[in-house]
Amino acid sequence: MSSSRPTWVAGNWKMHGSLAGNAALVDAIQKGLKAGITGEIVLCAPFPYLDQVSRLLSGSMMTLGAQDVSQDAAGAFTGDVSAAMLADFGCRYVLVGHSERRRLHGETDEKVAEKFGAALSAGLRPVLCLGETLAERKAGQTEKIVIRQLEAVLTLYGAAAFQNAVLAYEPVWAIGTGRVATPEEAEAVHRLLRERVAMKDSSIAAELRIVYGGSVKADNASFLFAQPNIDGGLIGGASLEAKDFLAICHAANF
């Protein structure tokens, strides 16, 4: 982790939660965090719980995020949720292009880029998720894939758009599998992504938070976070247990 970039750790609850469970989880996390730390901890709750979690987080050092957003501002899009709606409910961040959205909902690079833009327009900070599949890694295509996913956004919005965004490198083969990228494997991709943004704007690249996701746990977090280009984590499974999430937050010095 670079000292100049504030650390960023988010919990991605995916489709988990209940009113009672969320209240207990947030309460336990709040109680376990140190005071006076710089950086951000974000909880990405399912849509129906945004209002509840927003209230639970009031006065806390943690902030609220959502897991997806529509690329459209309003209209006949049954089931979709706009960026302005998320902002109304106190969201500061929204994930775009999570591999589960790309794979299960057919989201293309272009659609993800539009979602990124929609989030920015509403004053939200998009968290652009990208990463290769196992087959792509085995075929030596990791760099090509992540650059393609990044370029889809860079081309449309330029490097300036990353001033208010976070990049999350999440190798698909590491998500929910217990198979984590080694710190060196992750660092190599993070460095590549930062260099690519730097080709357009070196000062924005230097400040950009690039976080790692995919089977981050208490026992591997500190090794990952020790890498110079890894600025925090996007945590799925381990964000659902206060003890596990707190151990990761502590590894990030929260």
CB distance 133 to 173 below 8 Å = yes
**How many residues make up the chain in this entry?**
254
**Residue closer to ligand PGA, measured from CB, 39 or 213:** 213
Asked if 21 interacts with ligand PGA (CB under 6 A), we say no
* 159 or 175: CB nearest ligand PGA: 175
Catalytic residue among 40, 114, 136, 170: 170
Burial 187-210 (b: 16+ CB within 10 A, else e): bbbbebbbebbeeebeebbebbbb
d(CA 113, CA 153): 5
- Give me the DSSP letters along 75-119: SS-TT---HHHHHHTTEEEEEES-HHHHHHS---HHHHHHHHHHH
Piece of the chain touching ligand PGA by CB under 6 A; list 26-34, 67-75, 153-161, 229-237:
229-237
Among 22, 54, 215, 220, binds ligand PGA (CB under 6 A): 215
Asked if residues 42 and 86 have their Cβ atoms less than 8 Å apart, the reply is no
Interface residue with ligand PGA, options 194, 214, 221, 249 (CB under 6 A): 214
Stretch that binds ligand PGA, among 79-87, 113-121, 146-154, 236-244 (CB under 6 A): 236-244
Choosing from 40, 98, 100, 107, the catalytic residue is: 98
Q: Is 16 a catalytic residue?
A: no
128-162 burial, b at 16+ Cβ within 10 Å, e below that, comes to: bbbbbbeebbeeeebeebbbebbebbbeebebebb
In the bound state, the residue with its beta carbon closest to ligand PGA is 236
3-state secondary structure of 42: strand
Nearest to ligand PGA of 97, 117 (CB atom) = 97
Task: Based on the shown chain and the rule CB under 6 A, indicate whether residue 11 belongs to the binding site for ligand PGA.
Answer: no
Q: Catalytic annotation on 114?
A: no
What distance in Å separates the CA atoms of residue 171 and residue 125, rounded to the nearest whole number? 22
When asked if residue 213 is in the footprint of ligand PGA (CB under 6 A), the reply is yes
DSSP tag of 236: S
Residues 142-201 that bind ligand PGA (CB under 6 A): 170, 175-176
Q: Contacting ligand PGA (CB under 6 A), which of 102, 190, 236, 249?
A: 236
Q: Return the closest-CA partner of residue 29 out of 62, 7, 6.
A: 62
When the beta carbons of 212 and 254 are compared against ligand PGA, the nearer one is: 212
- Interface pick for ligand PGA out of 127, 193, 234, 249 (rule CB under 6 A): 234
Of 114 and 244, nearer to ligand PGA (C-beta) is 244
Give the residue with the Cβ less far from ligand PGA, 83 or 235.
235
Is the C-alpha dihedral spanning 230, 236, 237, 243 positive or negative?
A: positive
Q: Which two tokens stand for residue 157?
A: 């919005």
Contact residues toward ligand PGA (CB under 6 A) are 12, 170, 175-176, 213-216, 234-238
Residue numbers annotated as active site: 98, 170
